Amino acid sequence: MPGEHEQTFATRLREVTQKDHSEAETSEFITTLMAGSRAPRDYVLLLSQYTYIYAALESEVRALSTVPELSLIFDLRLERAAHIHHDLELLLPAHGFTDIPAPLEATANYIRHIRDAAQEPARLVAHHYLRYLGDLSGGQIIRRLVGRHYGIDQEALTMWRFEGIDKHKPYKDEYRARLNDYAVTPERAEALLEEAAKGFTLNKALFRDLLTQSQLSALLSA
């Protein structure tokens, strides 16, 4: 256990990435989507890009999930890909899509980074942390606001529901404790910090591409 004044790695990670985190969550696409000033199609566009990102992440995570030092972090109950597909089966036809939109350039770049990160597991842990702890935290706000603003039924918002994880705060606390145990070497700690910063940059690029795609779609349908 850390001493009274000793900073844990998880705390350091949160503090080091705080600025990048804030910039990502205040991107125009996300803030306007959460404010209810976009269209339901925009949420479907976001979820469609997550199809590709989570498929890549979960493929790499599964390949490493039996490695002893990773197995406690890489909890397969967190997987979202099947939930995303379930939600899109309901949302795509309801909002004028005939198929899942193709990956955007930022999405393809995000996927390449995830594949590369898997070659150095500490970097993959960074992406795992960003995505799933984000889903367990801010993702719950997304679920409520998307349902409220755009009339999307909770049955089509299972992306944000975690069966078997009833109490999110204790789970997140346990996850951070495991992260502290994992990042015991300077090499792992630095790799995690560097890749987490990249992860937020990748998310900001994704939100920019989604904003452009949304604006283009609006022009074409006008």
pTM listed for this prediction:
0.94
Please name the helix (run of DSSP H) or strand (run of DSSP E) that holds residue 79, with its range, or none. Answer: none
CA dist 94 and 206 (Å) reads 24
Contact between 51 and 159 under an 8 Å Cβ cutoff? The reply is no
Please name the helix (run of DSSP H) or strand (run of DSSP E) that holds residue 150, with its range, or none. Answer: helix 138-150
* Exposed / middle / buried, residue 207 (Cβ in 10 Å: 0-12, 13-18, 19+): buried
SS3 54: helix
Helix pair angle (28-35, 40-64), 10° resolution: 120
CA dist 148 and 177 (Å) reads 34
- pLDDT tens, N- to C-terminus, the chain (222 residues): 444 445 899 999 999 999 999 999 999 999 999 999 999 999 999 999 999 999 999 999 999 999 999 999 999 999 999 999 999 999 999 999 999 999 999 999 999 999 999 999 999 999 999 999 999 999 999 999 999 999 999 999 999 999 989 899 999 999 999 999 999 999 999 999 999 999 999 999 999 999 999 988 776 665
Q: Nearest-5° angle of CA 162, CA 168, CA 171?
A: 100
